[in-house]
Amino acid sequence: MLQATKDLPTVLRVALLIDAWTEIEVLQHAPWLGPLLVGALLRQTGTTAHHLIGLHVGAQKIPRERRRAHDKVVRLLAVLETIHATASAGLKEHDRLLLARTQLERRLRSRRTSSKLPRLIDLVLARPLVSTAMVQKELDVSRQGALDLVGELNLPENHWKKAVPGLGGV
């Protein structure tokens, strides 16, 4: 199927490949692998530049009956809607991160140009969870310096974790 669809537009090719993966059931215990492989194909062809899109995010928005319909056209339309829903979710996440960056950068006003806060902002926006040890390592500061920097940003506790004594700063 991969070879048979090579001349098709990328998004249509993706829809056909996901449908084929689902129908053939290549790996019955790993149905999640198909969309990841197709995401890798999107990256390889240059449709997405730096990441593998998580088609599962969009698939959650499409009813299972449509994704597993007996009619191939309905299934292909469901895959295309999944791609659209995934892209929409990605744009919403991008907007959320952009707003967070703007709000965090407001705290940089009247700071020295040598402040490490801009690097900390980049770190917390790039990682879903940041530990004190990570801040120490990335910014080359002491444990107390890392805690002080995190305190200046007023990060919510669910985004960063203090180092637990005896656990090596997890």
In this structure, the answer to whether residues 90 and 116 fall within a common structural domain is no
pTM to 2 decimal places: 0.66
Domain hosting residue 132, numbered range: 110-161
Structural domain ending residue among the three candidates 63, 96, 129? 96
pLDDT band at 76 (very low <50, low <70, confident <90, very high): very high
Q: What is the pLDDT of residues 110-164, one digit of tens each?
A: 777 778 888 888 888 888 788 888 888 999 999 888 888 888 887 766 555 554 4
3-class secondary structure, 71? coil
Supply 41's token pair.
């194909």
What are the tens digits of pLDDT across the range 20-65? Answer: 888 887 777 777 777 778 778 777 877 666 655 677 778 888 888 8
> Which amino acid is residue 85, in one-letter code?
A
With b for 16 or more beta-carbon neighbours within 10 A and e for fewer, the 125-148 pattern comes to eeeeebbbbbbbebbebeeeebbe
Residue 91 and residue 38 in one domain? yes
Query: Does residue 169 lie within any of the structural domains?
Result: no
